[in-house]
Amino acid sequence: MDPQVVQPCVECGQSRIPAVRREDGQPVCERCWDRPQRECSRCHTVDLVKALTADGPLCPRCYHDQRERGECGLCGDVAALARRATETQPARCYRCYRRPTQHTTCAFCGQQRDCQRLAGEHWVCRRCMPKPKRPCGHCGRSRPTAATWPLGPVCQPCYVRLRYGGRRCRTCGQVRPLTGRDDNGTGICGPCAGHASPAPCRTCATADAYAHGACARCLLHARLRDLLADPTGQVPAQFTPLIDELTSTPNPVRMLTWLQTTTSSQLLGRLAASGESISHATLDALPAGHDECYVRALLVRTNVLPTRQESLDRISPWLDRLLAERPTRHAQLLQPYVQWELLRKARRRSARGRSVDGLALKIRAEAFLILEFLTWLDSRKLTLAILRQGHLEDWLDSGPARRHDLCMFLTWAHRRGLTDAHDITPVRSSRDSRFLTDDERWAQLRECLNSDAFPLRVRVGRALTLLYGLPASRIRHLTAADIQQSGTESYLRLRTSTLFLPPRMADLLAELADTTRDEPLLPPSAATQQWLFPGNIPGQPMSAPGFSLLMRRHGFHVQPARIAALVALAEKLPAPVLAELLDISIDTAHKWAAYTQPNWSAYLAVRDQNSTRDRLLQAVQQTTRREDFIPIPR
């Protein structure tokens, strides 16, 4: 950082290049400088001065209107020219023109980058280039200006929203970007506001040109065909649904940015360039990661690939990669156990409509545990056939409590005659040590419902956990359609039951449903669900690790809160009612009831015995004389 160029601004205190100095010599940066406003010599409006001419100052809008227009030699658009054509260089519009750069040291950050000359001999990189802020004519916020329209300067978010979200103009009836306003403040299109109409698209002629003479949607269609073409230059029929779906996106400009900047689109292009048909097996052979998951979900979302149970079907290729560098004897034990014992039970659970996301994580954790145990056996020169109880206890005592989860594998191995019977029981974590008190639970619930200190998604997730004890897997899969209204009351639909929502809880869920924008790149369809907790993968909710990380990042631990809620509900509700209300199994409800409620069976047995003795005593007293009465011992 050059101290002779960069100085602390007297307004904001940040070290920036001075744009102007006060009368006392103190520097003011470009962002804090209130640029002077004067009357425009052309439209006679008081605005910032963009240029000084022989006739007087010009405002930004008049300056842009009076610029020389012509055909750009790079993109072919007829627009205002930033540079005229020369003998060696074609004419360039402002969109294609790039100021001369030089790879040198930036005067602001001191990094070696491509810099532009700012003033005098000072070179500044594009990142450090000062961007003055002006009040946006659409939203009113003070932001860097992206364009100057008849309605005034427009910031970048409003520019994208208005430029590529055209509406019907009330003056001419055409569907165009409403870049101006009439006397009543109603939005009107640019030509009706006196602004020159942009050139139409050369392909469809129904929208304004975005770049290279084509509108954003036509340009997107052309780039998708280039991306998905095979080595012969033809697009396989397999990708036709994908191109149609992506082209019909409500935001083609954002989709163009996705194509140019993301590694997921690059992976999709490499798969298409290979010339081979894409299947789930093709993607399973790729390294696991976000790009592979995103491309797979995108192909499933657009019906290029069939739907499958992703959390379970990914375990087999993951296990193959895990065992690739392991001894063969380890694979011969672990493969059949995972495939025919763990995955078969998980698929049965999935067929019954139960969530298996957490079960898939447990399968992976158990596979790692078994490999750890087999590696320990190899280090001791032991096998399952000669394993003894003393060896097993040595291994259990030398590690964490999770090693006791090996009991299922050893039971399976004993049933197949691979080892002797061993005494090992899983260790359950103590629930008492993880309880929230009832006062803490209600205090956290009131904070979620009434405080704006947390994001809306965190407030809803915490409130549903604290109020009903819903698991994270159930909360993550909630959709906007699960919020039901019946008169003035609101309900939350679960798989087979419906929960009543207090008014404040219903307001939070309705607000979350209104603000959630699932799959912003893809158009909505009848089969697409609007997740209340959308994930980064198209068409899928937030992952279990992502949901847990979101909650822990804001100081909330799901398990203690859920246990406290279930304890409070089990103390007041019978087990059948609890099972039906929270959509849990009757066995789970009975376990919570047995944990929280006293066992009344012994009391009822004693009470029945005492009642029988009392009835017998009463009968004897009625049939015998008082002097013949022999008391019955109790």
Q: Quick: pLDDT tens for 572-609.
A: 778 787 777 777 778 777 777 777 765 555 555 555 66
Q: Does the pLDDT value for residue 2 go beyond 60?
A: no
| φ/ψ of residue 535, rounded to 5 | -100, -175
Q: Which of 483, 343, 477, 338 is nearest to 412 (CA)?
A: 338
Rounded to the nearest 10 degrees, how much is the dihedral formed by the CA atoms of 609, 614, 616, 621?
A: 170
Which tokens hold the place of 454? Answer: 């947390």
Q: Does the pLDDT value for residue 528 go beyond 70?
A: no
Q: What band does 336 get if pLDDT is binned at 50, 70 and 90?
A: very high
User: Which region among 345-354, 522-531, 589-598 has the lowest average model confidence (pLDDT)?
Assistant: 522-531
Query: How many whole angstroms separate alpha carbon 138 and alpha carbon 157?
Result: 10
Kindly state the average pLDDT of the residues 556-582.
81
Query: How many whole angstroms separate alpha carbon 84 and alpha carbon 145?
Result: 25
pLDDT of residue 49: 77
Query: How many whole angstroms separate alpha carbon 535 and alpha carbon 73?
Result: 43
Q: Quick: pLDDT tens for 450-499.
A: 888 888 888 998 889 888 888 888 888 888 888 888 888 888 888 777 88
Higher pLDDT, 618 or 490: 490
Give me the architecture of the 433-596 domain, per CATH.
Answer: Orthogonal Bundle (1.10)
pLDDT of residue 133: 78
Q: Does the pLDDT value for residue 212 go beyond 60?
A: yes
With contact defined as beta carbons under 8 Å apart, do 370 and 337 qualify?
yes
Higher pLDDT, 589 or 434: 589
Which tokens hold the place of 573? Answer: 């509700």
Kindly state the average pLDDT of the residues 605-625.
53
Q: Quick: pLDDT tens for 89-138.
A: 888 887 677 667 778 888 878 888 888 876 566 788 877 777 777 888 88
Q: What band does 35 get if pLDDT is binned at 50, 70 and 90?
A: confident
Query: How many whole angstroms separate alpha carbon 329 and alpha carbon 346?
Result: 25
Higher pLDDT, 381 or 288: 381
Higher pLDDT, 75 or 395: 395
User: Which region among 6-10, 285-289, 327-331, 593-597 has the lowest average model confidence (pLDDT)?
Assistant: 593-597
Mean pLDDT of the chain: 80
Higher pLDDT, 202 or 408: 408
pLDDT of residue 290: 84
pLDDT of residue 120: 61
pLDDT of residue 397: 87
Q: Quick: pLDDT tens for 361-387.
A: 889 999 999 999 999 999 999 889 898
Kindly state the average pLDDT of the residues 147-166.
80
C-beta atoms surrounding 385 within 10 Å:
10
What per-residue string of b and e applies to 178-213 under the rule 16 or more CB within 10 Å gives b?
bbbbeeeeebbbbbbbebeebeebebeeebbbbbeb
Give residue 384's identity as a one-letter amino acid code.
L
Which tokens hold the place of 105? Answer: 């040291």
Q: Does the pLDDT value for residue 337 go beyond 90?
A: yes
